[in-house]
């Protein structure tokens, strides 16, 4: 494990540890990359004085943003139940291809995906999945990527009401506005353009806001984290720089 901890502390009390996870870091050991040796769980444990922490939700490897750990099993159980019951509000921001509608609801069931996509199971159950979205900004750049003289993009806030694997990425593909940098559900030509222009091909999806009743004090806790520099660099294609409130909702 590297001596330089890539996690940034956002919030801490005696029950919770909330960090910002950079893109490219797995939360824990996974068949996605069985040879990986560094995980957010290890680094969070180091931030907790070497004591075990309990990850409470998923954050895909290429997605950056807020990641919540409990510091004891009782807190993990209480907040984990709140997550399962849909009592935790989550906000993501994403850059997508095209100009999407100003707002909308994507109510589109999804088949369960295994953690390792090579183990695809056509008999896996289909679950309800719902995402709300709001367009924050649009831009058009004078670059021909798919046969048009210019290319259009939107910055959107995404609010998942359910927690299916890769839900946001699959839902945005479903409405024909795939997330830039999504190797599995996106558009290769657009992904390559941004990878070449900015020297990095990251997924343009970040978890920037979360709110819930504290599992012990019951006070309403609102968490926010600005996207990391690699995300903000790509947003320079928008003529008006998005505000902190646009990105985090705080």
Q: What DSSP letter does each residue of 6-20 carry, written as one string?
A: --EEEEE-SSEEEEE
128 is catalytic: no
Among candidate residues 33, 60, 72, 121, the one labeled active-site is: 60
**Residue of 248, 250, 62 whose CA lies nearest to 157:** 248
Asked if 165 and 112 touch (Cβ cutoff 8 Å), the reply is yes
d(CA 107, CA 97): 20
**Residue of 54, 49, 48 whose CA lies nearest to 80:** 54
Query: SS3 of 208, please?
Result: strand
128 DSSP 8-state letter: -
Which residues form the catalytic set?
Answer: 60
């Amino acid at each position: 494990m590297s001596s330089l901890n890539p996690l940034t502390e956002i919030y801490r009390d005696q029950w919770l540890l909330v960090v910002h996870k950079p893109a490219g870091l797995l939360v824990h050991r996974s068949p996605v990359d069985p040879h990986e040796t560094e995980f957010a769980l290890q680094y969070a444990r180091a931030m907790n004085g070497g004591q075990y922490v309990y990850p409470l939700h998923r954050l895909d490897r290429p997605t950056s943003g807020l990641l919540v750990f409990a510091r004891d099993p009782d807190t993990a159980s209480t907040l984990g139940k709140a997550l399962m019951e849909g009592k935790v509000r989550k906000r993501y921001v994403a850059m997508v291809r095209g100009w999407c509608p100003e707002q909308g609801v994507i109510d589109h069931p999804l088949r369960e995906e295994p953690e390792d996509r090579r183990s695809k199971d056509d008999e896996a159950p289909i679950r309800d999945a719902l995402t709300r979205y709001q367009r924050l900004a649009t831009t058009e750049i004078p670059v021909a990527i798919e046969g048009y003289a210019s290319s259009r993009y939107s910055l959107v806030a995404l609010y998942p009401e359910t927690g299916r694997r890769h839900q946001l990425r699959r839902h945005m593909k479903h409405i024909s506005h795939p997330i830039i940098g999504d190797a599995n559900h996106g558009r290769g030509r657009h992904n390559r353009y941004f990878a070449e222009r900015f020297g990095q091909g990251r997924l343009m999806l970040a978890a920037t806001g979360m709110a819930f009743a504290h599992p012990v004090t019951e006070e309403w806790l609102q968490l926010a984290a600005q996207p990391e520099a690699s995300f903000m660099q790509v947003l320079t294609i928008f003529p008006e720089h998005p505000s902190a409130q646009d990105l985090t909702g705080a």
